[in-house]
Amino acid sequence: MYTQAIDVPDQQPEEKKRSATALESAAYQAEFDAKLARGDFIEAKDWMPEAYRKTLIRQISQHAHSEIVGMLPEGNWITRAPTLKRKAILLAKVQDEGGHGLYLYAAAETLGVSRDELVEALHAGKAKYSSIFNYPTLTWADIGVIGWLVDGAAIMNQIPLCRCSYGPYARAMVRVCKEESFHQRQGFDLLLALMRGTEAQRQMVQDATNRWWWPVLMMFGPHDSDSQHGEQSAKWGIKRISNDDLRQKFIDAVVAQADVLGVTLPDPTLHWNEARGHYDHGDIDWGEFWNVVNGQGPCNRERLAERVKAWEDGAWVREGALAYSKKRRAEPARAA
Amino acid sequence: MTSAAHLEYVLRLADNALILGQRLSEWTGHAPVLEEELALANVALDLIGQSRLLLSHAGKLEAAGRDEDQLAFLRADHQYRNLTLVELPNGDFGRTVVRNFLFAAFQRALWEALPGSTDLDLAAIAEKSLKETRYHLRHSAEWVVRLGDGTDESHARMQSAVAFLWPYTAEFFTANAVDSEVAAAGLGVAWADLQPAWEAAVLPVLVEATLAIPAQTAFRSCGKLGTHSEHLGHLLAEMQHLQRAHPGAQW
Amino acid sequence: MERKEWPLWEVFIRSRNGLDHKHCGSVHAPDAPMALQAARDVYTRRQEGVSIWVVQADQIHASDPDAKPEMFDPADDKIYRHPTFYKLPDEVDHM
């Protein structure tokens, strides 16, 4: 956005700033800090510390990659959706996720990186995406549980980001949140229909809940005490609520929802703690979490392979369209 | 009392939309570029929407108490009336856009001819669907031109796609008793009558795309008569699975 | 260097007649007609628009944020441009 450094010959304002003197840098840093302190936004062409820029690129692109990879587990059930209405709803939801990836890549591009670079990093295994999408969708009920729990968790994380300090990211998140609200509702609606159905359908829901519950809790990331990036991100206005706080908020909300559904959350130690005013819950298996984050989860290899294949299979398409546009530009005049 | 021909005519339209919508939804997560993920999903959603309207209408005409889902998920293979073209596997992106293009041009000619139908529900569906189909045609035509006249590789793949799919278009226009009866009753147009409009839409685009138009052959597919290729069975097995595994369940 | 990536386009949408086109994001596309279609498919799925503009990102010229003080602050003290600056008798204050 606003002139990419990629192919513009003259020195851009950002370049001038990077070669600024120490005095000028201090002034820029002070202005940047003052903006954050008064809750003002940082926009694309504003000066920003390199570490802020890099952290944002990492965080926004990880978010984008998650949306794109996340299309695969749910996409797995579109052709098998049990009614036409559910088929259309699921297709629209997965389409939204593609759209969210697109908005987020666009936001990342304002920081001086190209979408292709980001995608290549993902395919080379250098970039991460949310660990939750490395789990398989084994039944139709998984689709409902993903809407209810995975999207529910994502929404908790995403709403605070609408106020993050970086303007393009905040605006992308506002758009995402508007669209996301139907995602959780359709999942819950799907599960309600199953729970009101046959015994086999009810068992399908309980089984899916059993498999997804703990991985969903892991979505919120490691405990605050073990979290690498939390403090600096909070100072920069990128991360406004801690992992543990978000996780607790989520559990507190979901328990009541599980009751409405009539499904049991697979944690026998889950109980209301009157003194704390929150639900106490069991220990998370962080071994499993790190395994999955490090590429050894149930579907890591397949997910990446599918994305790489789609990209490589599509190379001739992207090149063909580009070649056509270059031919047209080379012609002096052409009837419309 | 609805004639068998009237019902059959509507089922052909419904099943074309249903089966092509199903095929297009298979692209989810595999499109060549992110913008196209959303575009293909939009086309699929339009087609699924059209199939729902048409199947509901067919259910009412049949008056045997079958709704859109019972018709979509519980018929036997030979009871589907879609053109063979739409049940073929997607192939590469080139084959997909050529198929979308050839079919959209046909659908547009059809929707343009149906607002005059004495079946008022069908006329209304045609009017609404025409807007969607116009977009499908424009979208796929842009791709046909760019990939046909792009790189050597894209041109070769597109030519191969056209050569593969062209013989299946003959089925669009083959005469049959259902068409004659429906046209005579003012309920619909005989598909054979759509050939000039279809050619007028398709041929110039292929020429602009620098693609050769294959010669006609004696090959005739007959999906619209209920005799399908081997591909439909696999598609339906996947699509119908949950309904078959849980008879009578609500979703 | 030979560009292999599709160019970036900024998208502006008018949500209904009477309103301005508003910036809503970007798409990658090989040329203008494809950019318009991509914008339609990405940004108008919830009836957000009646008109779309697309502009290649490198055709947008932006003011330098460093120049913000001289570009925008001088307008701050010219409050006589605002109607509220003028106190009129009640009988004619509806002007």
* B221 in Cβ contact with B84 (< 8 Å): yes
Identify which of B38, B138, B142 has the shortest CB distance to residue C42. Answer: B38
* Section B39-67 average pLDDT: 97
Q: What are the chain C neighbours of B138 within 8 Å (beta carbons)?
A: 37
Q: In 3-state terms, what secondary structure has residue A328?
A: helix
Q: What are the chain A neighbours of C46 within 8 Å (beta carbons)?
A: 179
Q: How far apart are the first and last CA of chain A?
A: 29
Q: Is the pLDDT of residue A6 over 80?
A: no
Nearest CA in chain B to C8: B35
CB contact under 8 A, A106 and C57: no
In angstroms, the CA B57 to CA B111 distance is 16
Q: What is the pLDDT of residue B243?
A: 98
In angstroms, the CA A251 to CA A246 distance is 9
* B172 in Cβ contact with B191 (< 8 Å): yes
CA neighbours within 13 Å on the CB side: how many for C79? 5
Residue at token pair 């979208």: B139
Within 8 A by CB and 6+ apart from A94, the residues are A71, A74, A75, A78, B28, B29, B41
Chains that touch A (3 or more CB pairs under 8 A): B, C
Q: What is the pLDDT of residue A187?
A: 96
The β-bridge partners of C52 are: C13
Q: What is the pLDDT of residue A17?
A: 52
Alpha helices in A38-166 (DSSP H): 50-75, 84-109, 115-123, 140-145, 151-161
Q: pLDDT category, C72, cuts 50, 70, 90?
A: confident
In angstroms, the CA C72 to CA C93 distance is 30
In angstroms, the CA A287 to CA A82 distance is 36
Q: What is the pLDDT of residue A233?
A: 81
Of A2-16, B24-38, C58-72, the least confident: A2-16
Phi (first) and psi of residue A278, to 5 degrees = -140, 170
Is B150 an interface residue toward A (CB < 8 Å)? yes
Q: Cα–Cα–Cα angle for A115, A118, A122, nearest 5°?
A: 135
Q: pLDDT category, A19, cuts 50, 70, 90?
A: low
Sign of CA dihedral C25, C27, C33, C39: negative
* Section A221-228 average pLDDT: 84
Identify which of A43, A114, A324 has the shortest CB distance to residue C30. Answer: A324
Nearest CA in chain C to A98: C42
CB contact under 8 A, A318 and C6: yes
Tokens of C34: 């494809």
Chains that touch C (3 or more CB pairs under 8 A): A, B
* Section B26-47 average pLDDT: 98
In angstroms, the CA B190 to CA B198 distance is 13
Identify which of B31, B151, B249 has the shortest CB distance to residue A320. Answer: B151
Tokens of A336: 């419309």
Q: What is the pLDDT of residue A14?
A: 53
CB contact under 8 A, C65 and A47: yes
Tokens of B173: 């226009």
The β-bridge partners of C11 are: C25, C54
Q: In 3-state terms, what secondary structure has residue B100?
A: helix
Q: In 3-state terms, what secondary structure has residue B52?
A: helix
Give the CA distances from residue B158 to residues A99, B146, B150, B163, B172, in Å, rounded to whole numbers and listed in that order: 28, 10, 10, 9, 21
Q: pLDDT category, C66, cuts 50, 70, 90?
A: confident
Residues in chain C: 95
Q: Is the pLDDT of residue A5 over 50?
A: no
Residue at token pair 């116009």: B134
Q: Is the pLDDT of residue B83 over 80?
A: yes
Q: Is the pLDDT of residue A11 over 70?
A: no
Enumerate chain C positions whose Cβ falls within 8 A of a Cβ in B.
6, 27-30, 33-34, 37-38, 41-42, 45
* A173 in Cβ contact with A335 (< 8 Å): no
In tens, the pLDDT along A191-202 reads: 999 999 999 999
In angstroms, the CA C95 to CA C92 distance is 6
* B186 in Cβ contact with B118 (< 8 Å): yes
Phi (first) and psi of residue A333, to 5 degrees = -140, 140
Tokens of A310: 């789609």
Is C23 an interface residue toward A (CB < 8 Å)? no
Q: What is the pLDDT of residue B69?
A: 98
Within 8 A by CB and 6+ apart from B183, the residues are B189, B190, B193
In angstroms, the CA A281 to CA A271 distance is 7
In tens, the pLDDT along A123-147 reads: 999 999 999 999 999 999 999 999 9
CB contact under 8 A, C37 and B138: yes
Interface of B with A in 27-56 (CB under 8 A): 28-35, 37-38, 41-42, 44-45, 48-49, 51-52, 55
In angstroms, the CA B169 to CA B179 distance is 17
CB contact under 8 A, A4 and C8: yes
Q: What is the ipTM of this complex?
A: 0.97
Q: pLDDT category, A10, cuts 50, 70, 90?
A: very low
Q: What is the pLDDT of residue A18?
A: 53
* B108 in Cβ contact with B137 (< 8 Å): yes
Mutation pick from A316, A318, A325, A331 vs chain B, by most beta carbons of B within 10 Å, is A316
Our CA-based measurement puts residue B40 at a distance from the nearest CA of chain C, in whole angstroms, of 9
Is A46 an interface residue toward C (CB < 8 Å)? yes
Q: pLDDT category, C22, cuts 50, 70, 90?
A: very high
Q: What is the pLDDT of residue A23?
A: 73
Q: Is the pLDDT of residue B212 over 90?
A: yes
Instruction: Classify each residue of B88-109 as buried b or exposed e, where b means 16 or more C-beta atoms within 10 Å of its C-beta.
Output: beeebbbbbbbbbbbbbbbbbb
Its pTM stands at 0.93
Is B42 an interface residue toward C (CB < 8 Å)? yes
In angstroms, the CA A175 to CA A195 distance is 32
In tens, the pLDDT along A81-132 reads: 999 999 999 999 999 999 999 999 999 999 999 999 999 999 999 999 999 9
Q: What are the chain B neighbours of C6 within 8 Å (beta carbons)?
A: 33
In tens, the pLDDT along A41-95 reads: 999 999 999 999 999 999 999 999 999 999 999 999 999 999 999 999 999 999 9
Q: Is the pLDDT of residue A283 over 90?
A: yes
Q: What are the chain A neighbours of C5 within 8 Å (beta carbons)?
A: 114-116
Q: What are the chain A neighbours of B100 within 8 Å (beta carbons)?
A: none
Element of type H or E holding C27: strand C21-28
Return the closest-CA partner of residue B14 out of B68, B62, B64: B68
Our CA-based measurement puts residue A63 at a distance from the nearest CA of chain C, in whole angstroms, of 17
Our CA-based measurement puts residue C43 at a distance from the nearest CA of chain A, in whole angstroms, of 9
Return the closest-CA partner of residue A200 out of B249, B133, B14: B249
CB contact under 8 A, C27 and B35: yes
In angstroms, the CA A116 to CA A105 distance is 9
In angstroms, the CA A236 to CA A238 distance is 5
Chains that touch B (3 or more CB pairs under 8 A): A, C
A271-273/A278-280 β-pairing = antiparallel
Q: What is the pLDDT of residue A229?
A: 65
Q: For the beta carbon of residue B60, count every other beta carbon within 10 angstroms.
A: 14
Interface of A with C in 147-186 (CB under 8 A): 172, 175, 179
